[in-house]
Amino acid sequence: MLEVMGLNAGYGEIQILRDLSLTVEPGECVCLVGANGAGKTTLMRSLSGLLRPVGGSIRFDGQELARLSAHDVVTRGVALVPEGRRVFGPLTVRDNLEMGAFRHLWPPNKEKGRHDGFGRDLEFVLTLFPRLRERLQQPAGTLSGGEQQMLAIGRALMTRPKLLLLDEPSMGLAPLVVKEIFATIRALNAEGIAILLAEQNARMALRTASRGYVIAEGRIVNSADTAALQRDPAVQEAYLGF
């Protein structure tokens, strides 16, 4: 489904990702574990068209994404839930979700009408996150951290992704809320949405995903099914605090 080959990316003269390759198969939940500054966000930004790679390829369902705009990547079925949520604080929860649905709203589809599928997608998100339903008219900036993370995931789901990229969804959240978010990730994966999950919380990520990659200094240094990674002494020492 997703096949990243020999990806090189960075900022100006600074190279961050080095010859990075990974795959995600349809319906899979794959995690990306790495320390601060390892390059997880840089990879997520490259995959979602926010950062143009210098070299290598990103194939998704047989199509090359590496040179597409962020908007075109979304329309191909890849949605990013960015690090730090990035919800639009002054806008209501409903407006934030509607912005996620721009794939259906823009360019306007005159034949089918503006709201084609919107109501159904909104219902899906509000059923998944009942707390958002209670807060539809509330400014997003007044939500708790966990609720903002739910909104960020909901906004991405409004684009009907086939692959969801989650960048540190547990960041800054209390343990109970983290559990809730990871339960949601499992539920979405069970619905058939493929997931690539970048996390510093290696423990939760390795429990949730079926396969994982370890990234260090912009390179993939280890990859295996998550059961094997959890038993790996190097992974235990570096990321699980053994």
Ligand X SMILES: Nc1ncnc2c1ncn2[C@@H]1O[C@H](COP(=O)(O)OP(=O)(O)OP(=O)(O)O)[C@@H](O)[C@H]1O
Contacts to Mg ion by CB under 5 A: 40-41, 83
Does 200 sit near ligand X (CB under 6 A)? yes
Instruction: Report the SS3 class of residue 192.
Output: coil
Are 52 and 12 a contacting pair, CB within 8 Å?
A: no
The contact mask relative to ligand X for 3-22 (x = CB under 6 A, - = no) is --------x--x-x------
Does 172 sit near ligand X (CB under 6 A)? no
The contact mask relative to ligand X for 42-71 (x = CB under 6 A, - = no) is x-----------------------------
Are 164 and 156 a contacting pair, CB within 8 Å?
A: yes
Does 36 sit near ligand X (CB under 6 A)? yes
Scanning residues 71 to 100, which ones bind ligand X (CB under 6 A)?
83
Q: Which is nearer to ligand X, 36 or 137 (CB)?
A: 36
Q: Is 141 exposed, middle or buried (0-12, 13-18, 19+ CB in 10 A)?
A: exposed
Instruction: Report the SS3 class of residue 218.
Output: coil
Q: Which is nearer to Mg ion, 61 or 83 (CB)?
A: 83
Q: Which is nearer to Mg ion, 34 or 77 (CB)?
A: 34
Which DSSP string do the residues of 139-189 spell out, in sequence order? BGGGS-HHHHHHHHHHHHHTT--SEEEEE-TTTT--HHHHHHHHHHHHHHH
Instruction: Report the SS3 class of residue 239.
Output: helix
| Interacting partner of 42 out of Mg ion, ligand X, none (Cβ under 5 to 8 A depending on kind) | ligand X
Q: Give the interface with ligand X as residue ranges (CB under 6 A).
A: 11, 14, 16, 34, 36-42, 83, 168, 200
